[in-house]
Chains A and B, each alone.
Chain A
Amino acid sequence: MDFIDLLQLLIYGVVLGSILTLGAIGVSLLFGILRFSNFAHGDLMTVGAYVAYAVISSFGLPIWAGLPVAMITSALVAVAVDQSVYRRLRRTKPVILLISSFGMALVVRAIVQLIWGPQDRALVKGIQIPIRLGDIVIRPDHLWIIGGTLVIVILLHLFLSRTRMGKAMRALSDNMDLARVTGIDAERVIIWTWALGGALAGAAGLFLALDARLTPMMGWTALLPIFAAAILGGFGKPYGAIVGGMVIGIVSEMSTAVLPSAYKPAIAFAVMIIMLIVKPNGLLGGRK
């Protein structure tokens, strides 16, 4: 294992980190406002990726046309699930929502499997020509994933800091009662939070499919590292999720230098447990 190999792993880590970041921001935003961990988040990613796949493959569109499709689909599914089920459960204990979202994860996955079947699918057909920088090999897909994530994160930052709705979201996340007193319509903000979290999940799903393949289980398997990233960054802190996502992504890929790669999914878990013991509020101090 020399320096070049490590650098190569670092690139893979940043790619994985980008995908996890997009998922973790959504989980964190939703947690900040609704105080519950959405166990269906991974499957929101899956459904966005599949619908985008269906649209681009049946109309012969370029991959990039799939991005808005995935984002809009996941956002719509998220809002629909919230309005039809979660909204009615909001007055009960948050843990009931947790159970409901766990069930919803299976429902969404079952629907994906009913429509597209259990087999793997490739989002892109054919062989890509990798870009070579000296001894380092970069897939064009990976550049798109990293670039796409960067653009989305910048837009998100502008949204949260410049728009009324973004500010309302942050206010609700900081103090629900105080925000309500100032006249913020909490229900409207909640709907927008689902739409935003869903849209980010859709993008994450498409990127995940671009990096690997489409399978009905893809989102569920990504859920654990996404939660790990959100916890690492401090639950309820969307900016922390960026740091958390990158750390988990890079550590997971780098671990393959010393551990069998079969255990890669366990690394995120190990980092999360260590974090929970050492600093349960997350790197940037989220909610305990």
Chain B
Amino acid sequence: MSIDMAGLASYGVFLLTLAGIYAVLTLALNVQWGMTGLFNIGIAGFYAIGAYTAAIATTPSSTEHLGGLNLPFVAGLVAAMLVSGLVALLIGALTLSLRSDYLAIASIGIAEIVRLIFKNEDWLGNGVRGIAGIQRPFSEEPLVYLAVVLVVLALVYFAIERARKSPWGRVLRAVRENELGAQAAGKDITRFRLEAFVLGSMIMGLGGALYAHFVGFVSPEAFEPIFGTFLAWVMLIAGGSGNNKGAVLGAFLIWIVWSGTELLTNLLPAGMATQASALRILLIGLLLQVILLKRPEGVLTEERPHVHATPVMDSKEAEEDAAE
């Protein structure tokens, strides 16, 4: 029995790249849900905005869609984050002072409207035909792009981890755990929520941009919106919401399970092939219910911040408190 090593290796690279992109998305969701308690199920909307922005920014000039601006890869990533952040700012300002259910409902609406706009506005993103020819940076070699994704993932991880440990991150936690308490302590909770929502959405846009460069093509239907959103949620819950290591671990773990279900559905008789994706969603959906019932805190639980027996403030914190 001979195993095609080259095929196996290239499948491994493909799998890890997508897992890395999902990990970026899961970290973004962790800022919103894990750290702040904001219920966003419109992840796909910000992901699509990021992907389209990157496509428009980096492809050569075209008559079929807006741009392209022929900008370098990094400029595309930055643009993707800025545009996603701007949209999040607008939406967040309208909905974040409301109850969590309303934000959740509004977020479905955002994702739907984003999809409708990209589908119907031909001048913007070439309508249903989408934008092709998005190139990878440095080289088209998959291994190089995997390295790029992992570097971006590492940067995002360290930035968010730093933010979580900062006074800002602690306020988010307070907002999540005890809104009234945080308010009583003089924190402008709507502002903190808005900041977390915008930051998370920017990173979702970044994830979208990484995806666009990976597959080289964006279209309104390319994202399988509910899937992307749903998978990111399962990843975060499984890994442990509130914990950034958990978010990354969950992304890789669930992506492997998700890819594993494909091997399983490949065993189905040929006539059932069209049903394979439904069966996979069913399995992942059931997995989520089992996790929620049996281990709702996920694999890695949230790290509690160190609480000192006597209140000790470092100078920076004291400064901040004095300023407020």
Interface residues of A (CB under 8 A from B): 31, 36-37, 39, 85, 88-89, 92, 95-96, 98-100, 102-104, 106-107, 109-111, 113-114, 117-118, 216, 220, 223-224, 227-228, 231, 235, 260, 262-263, 265-266, 268-269, 272-273, 276-277, 280, 288
User: Please, which residues of chain A bring their CB within 8 A of the CB of B293?
Assistant: 85, 88-89
CB neighbours of B233 from chain A (8 A): 99, 102-103
The residues of B that contact A276 with a CB separation of less than 8 Å are 94-95, 98, 102, 106
A31 to B113, CA, bound (A): 25
| Closest residue of B by beta carbon distance from A280 | B98
Contact of A104 among B41, B226, B289 (CB under 8 A): B289
Beta-carbon contact of B296 and A106 below 8 Å: no
* B37 sits at the interface (CB 8 A): yes
From A98, A118, A220, give the contact of B104 (CB < 8 A).
A98
State A216–B275 Cα separation when bound (angstroms).
12
Whole-angstrom distance between the alpha carbons of A85 and B291 in the complex? Answer: 11
Contact indicator A266/B285 (Cβ below 8 Å): no
Q: Interface size for chain B: under 10, 10 to 19, 20 to 34, or 35 or more residues?
A: 35 or more
- B278:A36 contact, CB within 8 angstroms: no
Among residues 181 to 230 in chain B, which have CB atoms less than 8 Å away from a CB atom of chain A? 226, 230
Q: CA A228 – CA B102 in complex, angstroms?
A: 10
A268 → B minimal CB distance (Å): 8
Query: Which of A235, A260, A276 has its CB near the most chain B CB atoms (within 10 A)?
Result: A276
Question: Does more than half of chain A's interface fall in helix, strand or loop, or is it mixed?
Answer: helix
Check if B266 is an interface residue, CB within 8 A of chain A. Answer: no
B292 touches A100 (CB 8 A): yes
| CB–CB B109/A89 < 8 A | no
> Given A103-B289, A110-B279, are A231 and B39 neighbors across the interface (CB < 8 Å)?
no
B-side contacts of A92, CB under 8 Å: 296
Of chain A, the residue at the smallest CB distance from B120 is A262
B285 touches A107 (CB 8 A): yes
> Is B131 close to A, CB under 8 A?
no
The complex places the Cα of A263 from the Cα of B114 at a distance, in Å, of: 11
- Other than the given A85-B289, A266-B112, A269-B109, 18 more pairs (CB < 8 A) read A37-B105, A98-B104, A102-B41, A103-B234, A103-B285, A106-B285, A107-B286, A113-B275, A227-B108, A231-B102, A260-B120, A262-B120, A266-B109, A272-B105, A272-B106, A276-B94, A277-B94, A280-B98
- Mark each residue of chain B from 281 to 317: 1 if its CB lies under 8 Å from any CB of chain A, else 0: 1101110110011001000000000000000000000
Residue from B41, B279, B285 having most chain A Cβ neighbours under 10 A: B285
Q: Binary interface profile of B, 257-277, with partner A (CB < 8 Å = 1, else 0)?
A: 000000000000000001100
Across the interface, A273 reaches (CB within 8 A) one of B100, B106, B119, B234, namely: B106
Q: Which of B101, B113, B116, B226 contacts A106 (CB under 8 A)?
A: B226
Contact partner of A231 (CB less than 8 A), chosen from B105, B279, B282, B292, is B105
Given known contacts A98-B39, A98-B101, A99-B237, is B108 in contact with A223 (CB within 8 Å)?
A: yes
Contacts of A265 in B (CB 8 A): 112, 116
The residue that A96 contacts in the complex, of B98, B120, B279, B296, with Cβ under 8 A, is: B296
- Check B95 against A37 for contact (C-beta < 8 Å): no
Residue from A117, A262, A273 in contact with B274 in the complex, judged by beta carbons closer than 8 Å: A117
Cα–Cα, bound, A268→B296 (Å): 34
Assembled-state Cα–Cα distance A227/B230 (Å):
19
Q: Contact: A269 with B113, CB < 8 Å? A: yes
